[in-house]
């Protein structure tokens, strides 16, 4: 006899325990918040009792929680990350089932993340060896490799859902002190730097700063900005300098609390948090969230209201996770024309490939053919999830005629259920949309018959023969 969905028992012990620990609560405190006994909460965390609908509702109410956050985070050390690791050819003989991987990710997220980091270090080591950058280790020698600073910082920021309440509060306080409209920020910032910190700001020719766009001379109290910076880029540089000078102790405390493994990672994290604070200063949370909602997330309209670039506005949209005033949970990618990812943020989750590039079937790549124009697409990942995406090219700096092309592409997206809130979805049938099937990097993508496949999956066997030419240049066995 079939069991109805309403009769199924929901066991979320590991995820409930992880939530409690992330919030820094004892079982007694959480039990009080949920209106249950500590002993009953203990049973829930040990999966000896199912989580009831009443408990779920109390969780959402007590912690302003989107219940989807109880699911494993694919951008952290969750099932998607482990699935990529165990799709490697070296594990093929183990025959690991998907449900086994999901169980490990759910019950031991910390261990899962450790496995993902080890695998990433292994790939880095192998890549350097293949390129001849390092010698092959002798037998019995250690080939260990630490996590790259950029990977560690990215994972830390994503673990916080790309939202830092303390930095938002610091930004609101500074904006209140300045007391000016966003478009008047640059003038007010220059005055504050001069009067409070004795710093003068100078715009200098490209020849003076040939390899940088901003430099602060600590001894002479001068902030040099390159002439190639656009107006919004100069405003961001001023906001960054104010963030470093006036919130230095806060930034240091946040970095110390995060516990980076080494000095380079610590420095990169501080710069990343200072960039976050600078964006919050230019685009104060309350005003920015209201403008985004009122304009149906018209990025061009919002960015012009705050005097920021398209990329800066997109990045800020991924941080709108304030309890009680959440925005559409966007993800964002920045890629170059070769498909290299240089920026990746998400206010929720999206199954980015952690060990490869983006799928060529996502039109973020084709946006280079229509510079400055927004193109939309509805995509579906192998797990059946659908996302509404938009892409557009951007230029970060003014490029001299004889200079290198600085054009990049920004890809934004959200779950399809949020698309009706976006101006870009108007006129599109969201109930029965045209959908493009995409996947992770080709080496781990198992979608069959893909005409744009660049390589066979590393955990599948090629089935090329002399008598048949398939749609895909790399046909493979299904199992």
Look at residue 71 in the predicted model and tell me its pLDDT: 52
Q: How far apart are CA 474 and CA 452, in angstroms?
A: 10
Determine the pLDDT at residue 383.
76
pLDDT for position 441: 72
Measured distance CA(256)–CA(246) in Å, rounded: 18
Residue with tokens 């979608």: 447
CA distance 476 to 459: 10
Q: Is the dihedral of CA 150, 153, 156, 158 positive or negative?
A: negative
C-beta separation of 476 from 463 below 8 A: yes
Sign of CA dihedral 398, 402, 403, 406: positive
Residue 286 pLDDT: 96
Neighbours of 102 (CB within 10 A): 16
Pairing of strands 325-326, 436-437: unpaired
Q: Which residues of the chain have pLDDT under 70?
A: 1-8, 66-80, 89, 92-93, 99, 107, 124-146, 348-357, 397-405, 444, 458-459, 479
Specify which residues 389 forms β-bridges with: 377, 413
**Token output for 454:** 């660049």
Tell me how far apart the alpha carbons of residues 227 and 25 are, in angstroms, rounded to a whole number. Answer: 51
C-alpha to C-alpha distance for 301 and 296, rounded to whole angstroms: 10
Q: What distance in Å separates the CA atoms of residue 386 and residue 479, rounded to the nearest whole number?
A: 25
Assessment of whether the complete model's pTM goes beyond 0.75? no
User: Which domains are present in the chain?
Assistant: 5-70 (1.10.260.40), 165-282 (1.10.10), 322-444 (3.30.450)
């Amino acid at each position: 006899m079939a069991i109805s969905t309403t009769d199924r028992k929901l066991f979320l012990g590991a995820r409930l325990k992880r939530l409690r620990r992330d919030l820094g609560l004892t079982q007694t405190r959480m039990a009080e918040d949920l209106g249950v006994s500590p002993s009953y909460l203990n049973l829930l965390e040990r999966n000896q009792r199912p989580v009831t609908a009443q408990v779920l509702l109390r969780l959402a109410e007590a912690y302003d929680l989107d219940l989807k956050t109880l699911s494993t985070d694919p951008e952290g050390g969750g099932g998607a990350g482990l699935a990529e690791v165990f799709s490697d050819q070296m594990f093929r003989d183990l025959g690991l089932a998907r449900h086994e991987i999901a169980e490990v990710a759910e019950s031991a997220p910390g261990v899962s993340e450790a496995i993902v980091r080890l695998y990433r270090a292994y790939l880095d080591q192998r890549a350097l060896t293949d390129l001849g950058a390092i010698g092959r280790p002798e037998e019995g020698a250690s080939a260990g490799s630490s996590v790259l600073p950029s990977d560690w910082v990215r994972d830390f920021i994503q673990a916080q859902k790309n939202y830092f309440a303390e930095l938002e509060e610091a930004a609101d306080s500074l904006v209140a002190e300045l007391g000016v409209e966003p478009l008047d920020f640059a003038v007010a910032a220059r005055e504050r730097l001069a009067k409070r910190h004795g710093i003068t700001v100078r715009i200098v020719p490209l020849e003076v700063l040939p390899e940088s766009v901003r430099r602060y001379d600590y001894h002479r109290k001068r902030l040099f900005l390159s002439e190639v910076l656009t107006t919004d880029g100069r405003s961001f540089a001023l906001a960054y300098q104010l963030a470093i000078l006036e919130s230095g102790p806060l930034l240091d405390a946040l970095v110390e609390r995060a516990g980076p493994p080494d000095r380079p990672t610590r420095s990169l994290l501080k710069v990343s948090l200072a960039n976050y604070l600078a964006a919050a200063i230019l685009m104060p949370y309350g005003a920015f969230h209201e403008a985004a909602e009122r304009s149906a997330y018209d990025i061009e309209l919002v960015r012009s209201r705050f005097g920021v670039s398209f990329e800066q506005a997109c990045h800020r949209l991924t941080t709108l996770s304030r309890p009680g005033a959440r925005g559409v949970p966007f993800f964002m990618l920045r890629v170059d024309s070769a498909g290299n990812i240089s920026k990746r943020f998400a206010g929720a989750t999206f199954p980015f490939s952690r060990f490869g590039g983006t799928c060529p079937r996502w039109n973020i790549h084709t946006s280079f053919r229509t510079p400055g124009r927004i193109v939309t697409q509805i995509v579906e990942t192998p797990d059946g999830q659908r996302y509404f995406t938009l892409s557009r090219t951007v230029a970060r700096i003014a490029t001299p005629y004889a200079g290198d092309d600085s054009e990049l592409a920004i890809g934004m997206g959200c779950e399809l259920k949020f698309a009706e809130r976006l101006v870009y979805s108007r006129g599109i049938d969201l109930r029965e949309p045209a959908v493009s099937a995409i996947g992770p990097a080709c080496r781990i993508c198992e979608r069959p018959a893909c005409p744009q496949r660049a390589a066979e999956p590393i955990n599948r066997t090629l089935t090329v023969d002399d008598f048949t030419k398939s749609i895909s240049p790399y046909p493979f066995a299904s199992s």
